[in-house]
Amino acid sequence: MNIPIDRESSTIDVTLQLKEEQLVLAKKWIQTGEVKLYRESFTEKKNFTLTVEYEELVIEKKLPVSATPEQNEPPDVIRIRLSEEQVEFTKHMVSLEDVSIYKQQIEEIQHIEETLRREESAIKVLGSPIIRDDQN
């Protein structure tokens, strides 16, 4: 800032207002994400192989050996199923794991670096005037 000096006036009355930047820190909550909680079900085909038993009544008709020795006919067989095992299955849910969901606040230290500006008064002397220091 250049201050014009009136050569005819014997007094100079100038006021400079010096300023500096100050940093004001403020914190606020912002939403950075959203979570939707749900369960997903998947289906999977499983194959099982197991043996089942049954009982049957067997009736064989055989010709006597003395009746026709030259004929080797297979015997007449009748099979009647009397009982059998049947496979029954039931499905039930089994707990695999417990999932805990909760919010947690964590403190973290952030370092902020900012350049602040400030003003100081300065005097620039032109020419070669006589300077007097009244403080000494």
The DSSP code sequence of 62-96 is ---TTT-TT--PPPEEEEEEEEE------------
Of the pLDDT bands very low, low, confident and very high (cuts 50, 70, 90), residue 134 is confident
Task: Please provide the distance, in angstroms rounded to a whole number, between the alpha carbons at the two ends of the chain.
Answer: 29
| pLDDT over 70 at 2, yes or no | no
| pLDDT over 80 at 3, yes or no | no
| 96 φ, ψ (degrees, to nearest 5) | -90, -45
Contact predicate 55/84, CB 8 Å: yes
Of the pLDDT bands very low, low, confident and very high (cuts 50, 70, 90), residue 33 is very high
**Whether the model pTM is above 0.85:** no
**Residue 1 CA from chain centroid, whole number:** 58
| pLDDT over 80 at 99, yes or no | yes
Residue with tokens 């009748």: 78
Average pLDDT over residues 56-61: 93
The pLDDT value recorded for residue 10 is 66
| pLDDT over 80 at 21, yes or no | yes
Select the more confidently predicted residue: 91 or 9: 91
Lowest mean pLDDT, pick from 94-98, 111-115, 119-123, 131-135:
131-135
CA distance 3 to 121: 13
Contact predicate 136/31, CB 8 Å: no
